[in-house]
Structure 1
Amino acid sequence: MKRISCKVDEISKLNDYVYRVRLSPESETVYQPGQYLQLVLSDEDKRIFSIASAPHQAHIELHIGAAQSDDYPRQAIEHLQANAIVEIELASGLAFLREDTNRPRLLIAGGTGFSYVHSMLQHMLTQTSNPATTVIWGCRNSSDMYYYEQMQDWANAHPWLEFIAVIEQQPQPLTAHQGMLLDTVCQLYPDLSQYDVYLAGRFEMAKTAKPLFSEHKVNPEHLFGDAFSFV
């Protein structure tokens, strides 16, 4: 991986606990849509975050969910707030977007795992054609779905793109399925054999998803998620 210094251009809140961070790299960056980077707090302390931007964009964007009870992302935000210049290492991850196939795509995200999907979408929106793509994004509350309106706009503007929101608790005021993300995926797609399936979220979700999707005939060669390497 290459270590790069970046100027911290923006730290803004997308909701009560999710921050959008925009960095300007001081040298060339090379990565694939759907890869991740490491934010260097020190040589012994590097924090992993999905890259939310796409390779063609001049900036690097991150979506960091930093609740007070979670030291890992909160300390990363504090580091970014305290330093005008930070260092990152990129890029890592094998679950990047595959473009050598016309198989339909399911992009599944839990919570701020949406940043992974956002990177791939930012790239896909620049292409002249894309296979049929469905984004299925699950959150606990409607307020957690910080890009809901943007996703609706993209889906309305692009015939190849469908957006399905899933809310665990009462989905109002959003139009969404109510329930658990993985259960909803399997209800809507009982046969996953023809899809390229991309998944991002907490390790616990990935641990559940792999055997569950196998029951629903997913092709292991077309199931992508970096968390699967750790569960």
Structure 2
Amino acid sequence: MSDYSTFRKRMNRMGGNQLEARANNTKQVVNQTFGRSPSVKAVSYEGIETEAMISYEKRSNEYTQSQSDQRSFTFKPNFHAEIGGIIEMDDDIYVVYDSNESELLPVYYALKSNNHIRVKIGEEREITGYTSIGQPIYGSVKPIFFERPCYATVNARFNVYTEFDSKINAPSGRMLIFFPYSEDQDLKDGMEFNMFGDRYRIINVDITRVSNGKGITRLFTDKIQSE
């Protein structure tokens, strides 16, 4: 058998052409790395149990400079997650905000949720019964809340981000919050909510980072000063 025939036979086992062979070889190396890497941990992505290599490396982003809040999750080849997806690990929740867009070595960058946003978006009245002529009898009014795990960061000028601390100390009292987009969020400017012991008002709802119903919502908020 000629050297060329031997090469083609090897290529056919690995893939139909040189690019496929390289891709298959990369997948094999990655899978082997997963098998022996101490940084591989069990995680859950949107309720699906899987595993990922965890990195604590600091990566430049517009939300925080705190390395303790940042994680990169490297999954096995062809794993697909969404921007705005939720990864759970060690009782913590992480919100995906970026990726390397690679199928062979998919890496997703996420920030650890440091709160849950809870905003009243409406009201409903429960029907408790009907009159003798069929008219509904309503009970008390119940508020409807929108709730999501989120990452909140202090921002004085909406273009300079500071490391988040337990107390809002930016001069303007402004805060940026981001969380997974949801079609039922129904958030509007002027709505108010509580977070970190203070009252905030939404001044802008940014969904420019949403595509095909997936992505992250960013809320720009102002702290309501107590009188």
Is the structural similarity TM-score above 0.5?
no
TM-score (norm 1): 0.30
Q: Kindly indicate which of the two structures has a greater share of residues assigned to strand.
A: 2
Structure of larger gyration radius: 2
TM-score (norm 2): 0.31
Higher relative contact order (CA 8 A, sep 6+): 1
Q: Kindly indicate which of the two structures has a greater share of residues assigned to helix.
A: 1
